[in-house]
């Protein structure tokens, strides 16, 4: 594998803790100044991958390169990387100023240069008034800024953010999300953020790396992972509520597009190209909530029973069960009137359906021109 001269490259990184594998031959390229999110459930290895890049864990095998230099053999402080820790990890007995200066002093940066960088970072982050306070005297949001400031002053080539928003309350989280989006425009570095919150990943990242089961499941832009998930796991993991999976059988094709018969007997004329999907194959039909709606009065629909109603004000999600037992989620605009236990008739936008075969491979709709 050729190593790029700029950006970050992970080559066949593997790691296990004892007998438990955490990462298996993970390879990834990240461009300079790119904002990447590592997204995955707990235990997917996303934090371990971040810590291997930082040098806080050692990979069992594989290489990490940054801007054409191999860095996995270097100590954490000599990699040109700064990290914002989940719990901030500020030095409790040092003032904000000392916290930010600590790494620079260790690196032998000149005194006036340290002062200049701290003043600049404090200005950007609006923590100038707090420079002589200690972390214990500050709120969670302020500590977060200090942690970011401590990373900025190092002028790293790569920023690592470990669950940066998980410790903040809802209001602060929204504001900090905006600040992180601004951060990337102010720093001349790539950013990698670990998160289990897909909304964070979708709103902030240029590309999302979805990890599960020790491997990268998909790398793509937020739009790509949402509209063309690489497999059933990604399809279910990205999107809230998750994509519904209706079991069915390939019934044949029409004009090169697959028709699927659901377990309840209804036949969906999808927009998925027929290539490779032969009649009789058992498949799952993936449907996002926005592609399932309530039937209009007089319109024919699939009979379902509402099990749970999630009202978000502007829209309402109906978690329902079809007559054949499959679970499905429908989207209703506005506040909704149905209640759990009531019957509903649902209309499926078959043209938007995805098809997943038993092996997990995905087939996406491709509207004919």
Partner 1 sequence: MNAAARDRWAGYAFVGPFLLVYAAVLVVPLAMGLVISLHRADLFGRRAWIGLGNYTQALGDPVLHQALGNTILLALLIVPPLTVIALLLALALNRPGRFAAILRGVFFSSLVLSVTIVTLIWRFILTPDAGLIAEGLEAAGHAPIPFLSDPDLVIPAIAVTTLWWSLGFPVMLILAGLQQVPGDIYEAAALDGASRWTVLRRITLPAIRRTLLLVVMLQTAAQLQLFGQAQLLTGGGPGGASRTIVLYIFEVSFGRWELGYATAIAELLFGMIIALTLLQYWLVTRHEGQRT
Rounded to an integer, what distance in angstroms lies between the CA atom of residue 222 and that of residue 210? 11
Q: Which of 61, 73, 137, 182 is close enough to bind partner 1 by CB under 8 A?
A: 137
Q: How many positions of this chain bind partner 1 (CB under 8 A)? A: 28
Q: Which of 8, 23, 49, 54 is close enough to bind partner 1 by CB under 8 A?
A: 54
**Binding of partner 1 by 138 (CB under 8 A):** no
Q: Which of 55, 229, 239, 248 is close enough to bind partner 1 by CB under 8 A?
A: 55
Nearer to partner 1, 90 or 232 (CB): 90
Rounded to an integer, what distance in angstroms lies between the CA atom of residue 82 and that of residue 171? 26
**Binding of partner 1 by 70 (CB under 8 A):** no
Strands 81-84 and 158-162: parallel
Smallest separation, CB 98 to partner 1 (Å): 9
Tokens standing for residue 40:
């995955």
- Give the count of beta carbons closer than 10 Å to the beta carbon of residue 161: 27
Nearer to partner 1, 55 or 365 (CB): 55
**Binding of partner 1 by 331 (CB under 8 A):** no
**Binding of partner 1 by 18 (CB under 8 A):** no
Smallest separation, CB 167 to partner 1 (Å): 12
Stretch that binds partner 1, among 38-46, 69-77, 216-224, 292-300 (CB under 8 A): 69-77
Nearer to partner 1, 90 or 96 (CB): 90
Smallest separation, CB 224 to partner 1 (Å): 32
**Binding of partner 1 by 102 (CB under 8 A):** yes
Strand order in the sheet with 267-273: 267-273, 257-262, 244-254, 282-287, 354-357, 362-363
Residue 341 near residue 304, CB atoms below 8 Å:
no
Q: Which of 56, 172, 215, 251 is close enough to bind partner 1 by CB under 8 A?
A: 56
Q: Which of 16, 61, 70, 87 is close enough to bind partner 1 by CB under 8 A?
A: 87
Smallest separation, CB 160 to partner 1 (Å): 9
Nearest CA to 143 out of 96, 179, 184, 182 is that of: 96
Q: Which of 2, 18, 42, 92 is close enough to bind partner 1 by CB under 8 A?
A: 92
How many residues belong to the chain?
Answer: 369
Chain centroid to Cα 48, Å, comes to: 16
DSSP reduced 3-state for 46 = helix
x-marked contacts with partner 1 along 338-357 as a string, rule CB under 8 A: --------------------
Provide the sign of the torsion angle of the four alpha carbons 324, 325, 329, 334, taken in this order.
Answer: positive
**Binding of partner 1 by 61 (CB under 8 A):** no
Residues near 48 by beta carbon (within 8 Å), at least 6 away in sequence = 15, 22, 23, 57
- Give the count of beta carbons closer than 10 Å to the beta carbon of residue 255: 8
Q: Which of 25, 29, 33, 134 is close enough to bind partner 1 by CB under 8 A?
A: 134
Strand order in the sheet with 215-220: 81-84, 158-162, 190-195, 35-39, 207-212, 215-220
Smallest separation, CB 79 to partner 1 (Å): 8
**Binding of partner 1 by 190 (CB under 8 A):** no
**Binding of partner 1 by 85 (CB under 8 A):** yes
Residue 199 vs residues 64, 165, 203, 226, 265: alpha-carbon distances, Å: 28, 11, 6, 11, 36
| 185-200 b/e (C-beta count within 10 Å ≥ 16 → b) | eebebbbbbbbbbbeb
**Binding of partner 1 by 153 (CB under 8 A):** no
**Contacts to partner 1 by CB under 8 A:** 54-56, 75-78, 81-83, 85-87, 89-94, 102-103, 106-107, 134, 136-137, 150, 154
């Amino acid at each position: 594998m050729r190593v790029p001269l700029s950006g970050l490259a992970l080559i066949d990184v593997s790691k296990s803790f004892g007998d438990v594998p955490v990462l298996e031959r993970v390879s990834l390229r990240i461009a300079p100044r790119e904002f990447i999110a590592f997204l995955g459930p707990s235990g997917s290895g996303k934090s371990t991958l971040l810590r291997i890049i930082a040098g806080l864990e050692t990979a069992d095998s594989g290489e990490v390169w940054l801007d054409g230099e191999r860095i996995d053999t270097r100590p954490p402080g000599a990699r040109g990387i700064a990290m914002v820790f989940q719990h901030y990890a500020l030095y409790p007995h040092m003032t904000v100023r000392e916290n930010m200066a600590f790494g620079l002093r260790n690196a032998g940066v000149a005194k006036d240069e340290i002062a200049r960088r701290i003043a600049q970072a404090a200005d950007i982050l609006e923590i100038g008034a707090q420079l002589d306070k200690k972390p214990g005297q500050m709120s969670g949001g302020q500590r977060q800024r200090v942690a970011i400031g401590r990373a900025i002053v190092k002028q790293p080539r790569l920023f690592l953010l470990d669950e940066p928003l998980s410790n903040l309350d809802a209001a602060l989280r929204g504001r900090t999300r905006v600040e992180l989006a601004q951060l990337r425009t102010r720093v001349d570095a790539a950013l990698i953020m670990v998160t289990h919150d897909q909304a964070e990943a979708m709103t902030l990242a240029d590309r999302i790396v979805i990890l599960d089961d020790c491997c990268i499941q998909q790398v793509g832009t937020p739009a790509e992972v949402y509209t063309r998930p690489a497999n059933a796991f990604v399809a279910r993991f990205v999107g809230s509520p998750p994509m519904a999976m209706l079991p069915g059988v390939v019934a044949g094709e029409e004009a090169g597009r697959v028709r699927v018969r659901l377990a309840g007997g209804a036949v969906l004329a999808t927009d998925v190209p027929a290539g490779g999907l032969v009649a009789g194959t058992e498949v799952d039909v993936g449907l996002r909530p926005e592609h399932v709606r309530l039937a209009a009065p007089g319109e024919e629909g699939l009979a379902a029973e509402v099990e749970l109603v999630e009202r978000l004000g502007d829209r309402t999600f109906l978690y329902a069960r079809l007559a054949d037992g499959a679970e499905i989620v429908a989207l209703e605009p506005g506040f909704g009137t149905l209640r759990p236990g009531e019957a509903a008739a649902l209309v499926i936008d078959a043209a938007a359906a995805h098809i997943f075969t038993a092996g997990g491979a995905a087939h996406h709709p491709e509207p004919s021109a």
